[in-house]
Amino acid sequence: MLVLLPTAYLPSVNYMAEAIKADEIVIEAFETYTKQTCRNHCTIFGPNGKQKLTIPVIKVNGNHTLTKDVLISAHQPWQKIHWRSIETAYNNSPFFLYYQDQIAHLYHKKFRHLLDMNTEILFIILKILNASQPVRFTQIFEKHPDYEIDLRTILGVKLSGKQTKYPGYTQVFETSHGFIPGLSILDVIFNLGPEASLYLASIHTNP
> DSSP labels for 67-127?
GGGPEEP-SS-HHHHHHHHHHHHHTTSTTHHHHHHHHHGGGSS--SBHHHHHHHHHHHHHH
Please name the amino acid found at residue 42: C
Predicted TM-score (pTM) of the model is 0.93
Using one digit for the tens of pLDDT, what is the confidence trace for 182-203? 999 999 999 999 999 999 999 8
How wide is the angle at C-alpha 78 spanned by C-alphas 74 and 84, nearest 5°? Answer: 150
Average of per-residue pLDDT across 128-135: 95
Q: Cα separation of 108 and 125, whole Å?
A: 17
Q: Cα separation of 138 and 5, whole Å?
A: 10
Report whether pLDDT(160) > 80: no
Using one digit for the tens of pLDDT, what is the confidence trace for 67-109? 999 999 988 899 999 999 999 999 999 999 999 999 999 999 9
